[in-house]
Amino acid sequence: MPLSAVVTGAALTLSGGIPAMAADSSAAAGNDEANTETASLKSATVKVSDTETARITRKATAKATARITKKVKATAKVTAWSTRTAKATRTVTVTTSASSYDGAVAQARSEAKKKAHERARAAAIAAAKKQAVAKSKQKAKHRAVEKAERLGRVKFGAKIVSDAAKKKGTPYVYGATGPNAFDCSGYVGYVLRRAGVTHLNRTSSGLVSDTKKVSKRAKKKGDLVFFSSGGHVYHVGIYAGDGKIWHAPKPGSSVKKETIWTSSYSVGRVKV
């Protein structure tokens, strides 16, 4: 007799013909019901969801170049770290069999829980890695740009001060723009042009519009120091650090470095 299957509820019953030798043995024992042998197998299907949270840290390195003028540029390389948290939920369905229905349920639940957790964990880690890498790249690029700009400004200021010092002792002549004589704005304009700054106003008051105002406390080497009276700018010099400026003072004097002598001044950073 061919093997057949009958499903009743959660029970899967298998039935079929008995082999000839087994039938003869049963007949000898006088068992009329031994012509059929029955075996039962319990089956269960379980669906399980699981959630996993993963925290991942990644780093990225970025490089940026800031060009302050055609003659002054700086390159910065920065590494940034970022930690991101991601959560993922996965659901799996497992069907299994055991000698009893309760056993089948327990086994299916155990297997489903394990698989759901593994899938959720893998998904959470993948998402966290992707987020962390993207964030660290973004941070690194931003910091590299900022650092390059700072370094560029430092180099720019150093060049301005260095070029200003090279004209030490050059006589003051009203209206002169160099290279052998200067008035105050002519001297500042000459030095700035050597550093690659073009399109400058000629006068002290005009140079104010070529700069961005910064606080006295925030002034850096290479910034311009404007002196004014009654709202009128009458003199300009180049900040040299340590409270001093390079400037062409007045008729009868020459270019020199001098301590700022008054508090009635403002500071401007050249727009480049």
In this structure, are 105 and 143 located in the same domain? yes
Q: How many separate domains does the chain show?
A: 2
Q: Is residue 261 in a domain?
A: yes
27 occurs within a structural domain: no
Q: Would you state the pLDDT for residue 41?
A: 83
Q: Are residues 154 and 76 in the same domain?
A: yes
pLDDT > 90: percent of the chain: 83
Give the whole-angstrom CA distance, residue 17 versus residue 4: 10
If asked whether residues 63 and 128 sit together in one domain, one would say: yes
- 67 and 109 co-located in one domain: yes
Average pLDDT, the chain: 88
In a domain, 142, yes or no: yes
Cα 167-168-172 angle, rounded to 5 deg: 85
272 pLDDT band, cuts 50/70/90, is: confident
What is the CATH number for 264? 3.90.1720.10
259, exposed or middle or buried, with CB in 10 Å at 0-12, 13-18, 19+? exposed
Range of the domain at 188: 184-270
Residues 149 and 70 grouped into a single domain: yes
Among 140, 158, 176, which residue terminates a domain? 158
